Structure 1
């Protein structure tokens, strides 16, 4: 039934009379036929103009006209939003439909489209034709009704209405291969659906004057046009699936994808299209998903491209995926599409993910993430590519200024077939931070695996960054669980820190396992065409602490090779570097540590061991090599031949050997609980180490005052021999120092050259202490003590009494220690010699601390610092060493208090002074000790303030 009314109203369809004056205020209700006679035809375009255009529930508006019409172009000129809650259809085959209403358009629950061509709806002010003619909504502007084809939508100002699709599922769709376009200020989909099978969907949200043009490659807009908000919530869907998936293009400001999805499935014998989203910010939440799938043989799925001016944020199990969608048996040779994301910052949180998979000989797609600032994946969020047959897994490329993979999050690639695993490339201009999961050794961050079977090789992992830090069971693992070879791991970093974390290339198959890949670490690695490589530049620092690990271990195959080039390498607190083989006949891998200024091991090991096969080879080239007594370097085999351990030092080192670890670091916990262990000189590694043995004490306890000589000796021959022996001591070569000092002291007549005798004793006793030969110290104590009883005010006597007090302290005899230290302190105060007083006060404070008098010890340490002001280290380096010894003892004692601010200030002062020292063994050992103090402070003071103060240059 067709009703006519000229009564003005906001309901139904009302003509405005701009095309046919006699139709002004004509109202049509019910199921209506809007004939071409009510509009105007020019060429293949049919124009209509309405004051109001609404289609209510159970109503139909049918546009009719000759079959020659290609475009039905309608405008709504009244200031009323159009509500489409019925059927909008056209009886003209293949005609495209354009609906313009600057006051807004709402599609209700019952809205549906039945048109032969494409559908374009907009709140634009005009349509521009391809000959530049313009059809305005405002009837006071140009009245041109062009015969040219529409090419763009235009906005004259920033007052732009919205388009909403509310509770409409499966009805807003066009015929196969056709297009749906929504162009408005904001676009709101709440439980709404748009479908264009094998076609194209365009969505553009605009908030300023400008034009939107559709091109073959996407939506085009002027560069500085302002953009609005696009929201898809409450199970909304955009779908371009078909025999080959269609294309989806979006431009907007803020895009919200909440509990909704964008889908592009290729179901037939055609390749998929592209999903291209260009917005300012993209927020996906609560299973907000983008999916591109291929479900037929021999085809490629569509790609997904996201470009954001600012942020891309996926949270709460939101996903991006490209993959085949079918059983392993009926989907063959299908290649998944690529995924590319570019933004200022990218965040994936709370089990959100990016995946590309392939089955039955198809390749999975490549994944690229590029951010100008930060990329963050947290709380089990992942990036993953995989393959299950002859196809290859896609590559993963990640680039940003800073990259954070926390709570076990991060990228991975795996092959479970004959194809290759994907390579992972990660580049950070500044830092990469990895954080695992408390107590979870499987909380790894970056992985590349070949699966458990007769599969292809795993992909390589290449990482470049200024700093890389991994903590709390974090890790980078390349490995194989079957016969495929593990990938290689290449790290180009300036500073690498592993804290209770792992970098590993593994082969875990019990039998016939593939080879573990190589690990290469430097600041710059150059690869040649023949796959050879050169580590052209070293890292600045590599630190391994708290059970950290760099390994290429294997169960049955040969261990991989580790190549490290770094200026400083610290391996602390049960950490390790290993290329071990734990079963089978494989050979232990090789470890090469080259061109290092300092290698330091504390409670840690370097190993290249094997069971049936031969041990590997370990080669270390360093200017200084520091190793605690319980640290090990081994290259053994239980049933094969032992490997080799080669440690080389430059020609400029003392006796062409290695610097050994310093000085009498006292272990207070052993003093308080039990007697010190006496280390035998025979308890040395069973391997021949080319160079000298490093025999340090523990570094994370109180430190005795260093030896101090009052003056140069007139006897030049003695002075030369003494200087040589003291250099051995200063470099940590205690065995040769002990031998040289004993030879020298045997030539001294104590009755005539007491000053020379005292000087040698002041070095010889600390040397024996460092070697654990405490009993031998008393041979010289018994000889010299009677000679000093009547000369207690002399400085040499004070220093010897102080030395004996420390000797008793190291043997857990606190009573005797206090006896000698009290005498030394009394006469040191009387002497008014600042350095001697500081030396005695430091050892006395150590005794107070061991006696449980923490606060008194702290006061005495501070007094010792005031008594010994810092002296220019270029003129007199020894007092600087003394000053730092006292200062770090003070820091150690203060960790037992809650004075976080002052503890950290003292820490900073010590660090500054150490960094100003010339490069030397003493500087290295002090830095080493400072590193352990930093760990102690961080453990004792669990407060955010520590991050402000603790910036240890070692760790």
Structure 2
């Protein structure tokens, strides 16, 4: 029957293909008369019947000079039904072209051996009860050492009752091409009803093997299918042996010891599939394996057990142009123990192509394992009229049956995702999403988004909208992690499902870099690492743990652990040597409310802990949209949820150029506490540490360090709005300096102001800097400064109260060349300002004015004396003299503060006391 081009569906309308008619091929089956009992070929209408051959036990041997089957013809091996294996070889120099049917009796396996090549046309099909192996090997090796060879056709020894053990290839194995897309139509024979049409191509019976093993393997729009059996595609170079092992599903091929392979190509919507209650196995082995133009390879376990899908490409596996490679679990089947395995040097998936491990049923999904010794490169997406489908690797849970998703494991040197490509374990139903494990010894690079900015390149373990299952965990181990231009790493929880844990270990560094101005991605933030519980979630959001030497967050990129639900928030822990947040980068944890949320009841935010052995630097600002955003390290709360604490442990903390470290609560929840332990803390050029709250008495700041310096308008501030009590500021440090309009303030509006308690050995304030605790309409807080117990005389050597005074001259000649005048002060106390001024040699320095009597005026202080702890007032620390004045009795008094401008001028207008020695 001649068919016109038609359009039809396969597998419940999931895949669309087009069928065309190929040109007919002349039938040519010619025996070569090399066997003890030669083959007998008889033509009967469209059937070429093959009788005879040489039998050895359950094996039957045929040998042909030429073997081809034209369109609509059938080559019928008329064997005895008890025959187990039919071995047919082609010894002439021609390629076998098969565009009709190959048929045999009973359950016999059929082996077709032609070293020159085999082509299956669009009308090629199989009607055999056993397995089918087409190969361009030179010979079939048997267990007893015999060979059935297509190149050495000796009559003896040739025939054996032994089991075949391998396929021996010659110098230049021929190619195998499959274009078969034969259809199967049910009894209604209604070509206009696409539901009655089933594409099968080359198909063997259930639980049997269909194998094409040769040089190059080309599946050009062809089909290879079986139900629950096994499909093998193998491409090897010359002089190699492929092992054969009999199994329940026919034959398993083994390529161990083979180092040289050839290429396999699936194109023009090629289709390789096995589907049954017990899913079949598919193995593809070659050098460069390429899927293009929507080609698909898949295994489906429908009710019992999923199969295994294995692709090994010694050099490259490439999936392009919407091609699919997947292993699916349906119904009550389980993928436990089954895998989709990729083993190659380099894996490329782009232009909407995908690797998939879907779970649609109650059983667990299969694991998806990728081992690429050099690199895994995923790029681009598939854009349709209504949606865009990203390129990537996916393990999905679909439907409400409750099956858990499989795990994705990627091991490589370099993992690269670009232009919206994804690796994702997610759940769309009641089952738990699988885990995602990435081990890249050198780098993981994520970059860019889809052209419409709706999908970011990224690694995801998520619960999709409407699903109720738990999120999976996400683990990354690499040397360097680079997240650029809107790409993301994310896990999220919804409904009753638990959030996942994100664990990242980068031995060298992590760079998160966004774009300025930042582009919003379908409602999400720019580049970053995100752990969240989405609106409606009632369970814990998850955890975030990052360990690396250097972590940089810049240009609007973000690390966040957010809770939009009512469960507990996600805790985030950063273990680094150096943390740098700059140009609008943000690192935070919070309890948040969406703009469209009608339910303002929120769970608490998580705790953010930074352990930085060397330094933490928070620097500058950035632009998001049209808004200036500070670089920040923060915890926050909106709605009713409380904010978590922010804990920083480091050697050096720097916050500068408008950046901030902040804890806040803008709703009815309480703010967390900000705690810093650092050897050195520098706030510079409007850098700030802040705590803000609207209710309660939280939002405290606790600082422990050796040196704390505020410069150029920097601030340490607690702010309490409305009736809230101001947060407290507690500072324990050796040296505290606030200079150039820098302030330490605890503020409140109607509630009581917070308290400031400072324990230090020295405080230095510029005249324009302040330490204040106040409330606009309520009770002011207190400022308390504690100095440590120091005995000023401990360890000092007493000097005489009155020292021997040398003879004094009435005047001094400091400019003489024979002797230099000197000023000598002997006794207790320090030194006054230097009296040695350049004068002429005749100048006389005399005290002509009476001494200025110092009144009770002293340099002003921002902290009242009454606020200093009275128990410590009797002992003060020894500090270096900063100035001196003359008391009412004429005694020089050294001070710890420079004199005021007026007093300083008065001192310079009076004569100075001088001892001038006449000794030389």
Among 226, 235, 241, which residue is 2:260 paired with?
A: 226
Q: Is the 8 A contact 1:464 1:492 kept in 2?
A: yes
Q: Is the 8 A contact 1:55 1:83 kept in 2?
A: yes
| Residue pairs, 1:638-653, within 5 angstroms | 638=721, 639-649=723-733
Among 246, 253, 262, which residue is 2:307 paired with?
A: 246
Q: Is the 8 A contact 1:386 1:393 kept in 2?
A: yes
Matched, 1:386 2:462: yes
Q: Taking structure 1 as reference, are residues 565 and 83 closer, same or farther at Cα in structure 2, changes over 3 Å only?
A: farther
2:603 maps to 514
| Residue pairs, 1:198-213, within 5 angstroms | 198-207=228-237, 209-213=239-243
Q: Distance in 2 between matches of 1:591 and 1:129?
A: 77
| Residue pairs, 1:813-832, within 5 angstroms | none
| 1:437 alignment partner, SS class | coil
Q: Distance in 2 between matches of 1:782 and 1:13?
A: 125
Matched, 1:91 2:96: no
Q: Distance in 1 between matches of 2:909 and 2:211?
A: 100
Q: Taking structure 1 as reference, are residues 226 and 68 closer, same or farther at Cα in structure 2, changes over 3 Å only?
A: same
Among 528, 544, 560, which residue is 1:445 paired with?
A: 528
| 2:444 alignment partner, SS class | strand
Q: Taking structure 1 as reference, are residues 718 and 743 closer, same or farther at Cα in structure 2, changes over 3 Å only?
A: farther
TM-score (norm 2): 0.67
Question: Which consecutive unaligned segments of at least 5 residues does structure 1 have?
Answer: 1-8, 524-537, 650-656, 666-677, 694-711, 724-733, 766-775, 789-955
Q: Taking structure 1 as reference, are residues 44 and 516 closer, same or farther at Cα in structure 2, changes over 3 Å only?
A: farther
Matched, 1:261 2:320: no
Q: Distance in 1 between matches of 2:829 and 2:220?
A: 91
Among 680, 685, 688, which residue is 2:768 paired with?
A: 680
| Residue pairs, 1:109-128, within 5 angstroms | 109-128=122-141
| Residue pairs, 1:127-146, within 5 angstroms | 127-129=140-142, 134-139=147-152, 143-146=157-160
1:308 maps to 372
Q: Is the 8 A contact 1:202 1:219 kept in 2?
A: yes
Among 861, 868, 885, which residue is 1:746 paired with?
A: 885
Q: Is the 8 A contact 1:192 1:236 kept in 2?
A: no
Among 21, 40, 54, which residue is 1:40 paired with?
A: 54
Q: Distance in 1 between matches of 2:108 and 2:310?
A: 22
| 1:241 alignment partner, SS class | strand
Q: CA deviation at 1:148?
A: 4.1
Q: Taking structure 1 as reference, are residues 69 and 396 closer, same or farther at Cα in structure 2, changes over 3 Å only?
A: farther
Q: Distance in 2 between matches of 1:312 and 1:202?
A: 24
Q: Is the 8 A contact 1:30 1:60 kept in 2?
A: no
Among 195, 216, 220, which residue is 2:225 paired with?
A: 195
Q: Taking structure 1 as reference, are residues 683 and 236 closer, same or farther at Cα in structure 2, changes over 3 Å only?
A: same
Q: Which stretches of structure 1, 4 residues or longer, exceed 6 Å deviation after superposition?
A: 26-30, 214-219, 661-665, 687-693, 716-719, 734-737, 739-743, 785-788
Q: Distance in 2 between matches of 1:243 and 1:322?
A: 17
Among 494, 511, 528, which residue is 1:433 paired with?
A: 511
Q: Distance in 2 between matches of 1:178 and 1:689?
A: 86
Q: Distance in 2 between matches of 1:167 and 1:715?
A: 111
Higher helix share: 1
Q: CA deviation at 1:514?
A: 1.4
| Residue pairs, 1:811-890, within 5 angstroms | none
Q: Is the 8 A contact 1:485 1:516 kept in 2?
A: yes
Among 61, 73, 80, which residue is 2:75 paired with?
A: 61
Q: Is the 8 A contact 2:125 2:203 kept in 1?
A: yes
Matched, 1:323 2:424: no
| 1:35 alignment partner, SS class | strand
Q: Taking structure 1 as reference, are residues 56 and 213 closer, same or farther at Cα in structure 2, changes over 3 Å only?
A: same
| 1:484 alignment partner, SS class | coil
2:348 maps to 283
2:359 maps to 294
Higher strand share: 2
- Kindly provide the CA deviation profile for residues 47-78 of structure 1, in whole angstroms up to 9, marking residues without a partner as x: 43444443443333333423333344444444
Q: Distance in 1 between matches of 2:126 and 2:79?
A: 17
Q: Is the 8 A contact 2:34 2:153 kept in 1?
A: no
- Largest Rg, 1 or 2: 2
Q: Distance in 2 between matches of 1:618 and 1:392?
A: 36
Q: CA deviation at 1:449?
A: 1.6
Q: Is the 8 A contact 2:589 2:635 kept in 1?
A: yes
Q: Is the 8 A contact 1:83 1:105 kept in 2?
A: yes
| Residue pairs, 1:528-677, within 5 angstroms | 538-546=613-621, 547-555=630-638, 556-584=640-668, 586-638=669-721, 639-649=723-733, 657-660=734-737
1:19 maps to 35
1:353 maps to 422
Q: Taking structure 1 as reference, are residues 351 and 647 closer, same or farther at Cα in structure 2, changes over 3 Å only?
A: same
Matched, 1:370 2:439: yes
- Kindly provide the CA deviation profile for residues 491-530 of structure 1, in whole angstroms up to 9, marking residues without a partner as x: 222222222222222211362211211222226xxxxxxx
| Residue pairs, 1:387-406, within 5 angstroms | 387=463, 390-406=468-484
| 1:240 alignment partner, SS class | strand
- Kindly provide the CA deviation profile for residues 412-467 of structure 1, in whole angstroms up to 9, marking residues without a partner as x: 22222212122122222212222223323611422222121143222212222222
Q: CA deviation at 1:583?
A: 0.2
Question: Which consecutive unaligned segments of at least 5 residues does structure 2 have?
Answer: 1-24, 182-198, 262-286, 382-390, 449-455, 594-598, 622-629, 743-765, 775-780, 788-821, 834-860, 864-875, 913-920
Q: Distance in 1 between matches of 2:203 and 2:511?
A: 46
| 1:408 alignment partner, SS class | coil
- Kindly provide the CA deviation profile for residues 848-900 of structure 1, in whole angstroms up to 9, marking residues without a partner as x: xxxxxxxxxxxxxxxxxxxxxxxxxxxxxxxxxxxxxxxxxxxxxxxxxxxxx
Matched, 1:334 2:407: no
How many pairs are equivalent?
Answer: 694
Q: Taking structure 1 as reference, are residues 632 and 270 closer, same or farther at Cα in structure 2, changes over 3 Å only?
A: same
RMSD: 4.3
Q: Distance in 1 between matches of 2:707 and 2:617?
A: 15
Q: Taking structure 1 as reference, are residues 90 and 587 closer, same or farther at Cα in structure 2, changes over 3 Å only?
A: same
Q: CA deviation at 1:624?
A: 2.3
- Kindly provide the CA deviation profile for residues 97-121 of structure 1, in whole angstroms up to 9, marking residues without a partner as x: 4344433334443333444334433
